[in-house]
């Protein structure tokens, strides 16, 4: 059987790991083992936090909608319930944008839903 030496591939792997670890602190940026361990940890967090971000934004939108509804004499839960009953399908992201950038049209929408 032919002997396979792994020098070229090991060097390529090492270069890639250290390139991805650029910006890390202390030995994690230039020691292969520490860099690899940190990268595995970082990728795990990145995967989990991509999912967490969706919930974070939804909570932010809810707070913005609620704060825009309070001066109009409405609460978030009653407003969303009324929207469901009237079959108005506007998602929270758009409602939040309306409340923040165009309060007049948001107020018209609230009046339409609460009638």
Residue 71: which pLDDT band, with cuts at 50, 70 and 90?
very high
Measured in degrees and rounded to the nearest 5, phi and psi for residue 8 equal -65, -45
Judge whether 1 lies within some domain: no
Q: Which two tokens stand for residue 64?
A: 């913005």
- For residue range 72-87, list pLDDT tens digits in order: 999 999 999 999 999 9
pTM of the model: 0.74
Judge whether 57 lies within some domain: yes
Residue whose C-alpha is closest to residue 95's, from 84, 85, 115, 110: 110
Domain that holds residue 27: 7-114
Task: Report the number of distinct structural domains present in the chain.
Answer: 1
CATH number of the domain bearing residue 26: 1.10.1900.20
- For residue range 6-46, list pLDDT tens digits in order: 899 999 999 999 999 999 999 999 999 999 999 999 999 99
DSSP per position, 98-113: HHHH-HHHHHHHHHHH
Judge whether 93 lies within some domain: yes
Cα–Cα dist 73/87, whole Å: 21
Spatial neighbors of 76 by CB under 8 A, at least 6 apart, are 62, 65, 66, 69
């Amino acid at each position: 059987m032919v002997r396979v030496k792994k020098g070229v591939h090991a060097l390529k792997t090492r270069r890639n790991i250290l390139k991805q670890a650029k910006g890390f602190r202390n030995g994690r940026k230039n020691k292969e083992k520490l860099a690899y361990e940190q990268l595995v940890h970082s990728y795990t967090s990145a995967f989990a936090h991509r999912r967490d971000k969706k919930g974070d934004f939804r909570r932010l939108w809810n707070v913005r909608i609620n704060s825009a509804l309070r001066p109009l004499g409405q609460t978030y839960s009653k407003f969303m319930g009324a929207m469901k009953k009237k079959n108005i399908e506007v998602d929270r992201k758009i409602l939040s944008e309306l409340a923040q950038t165009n309060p007049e049209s948001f107020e018209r929408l609230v009046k339409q839903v609460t009638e």
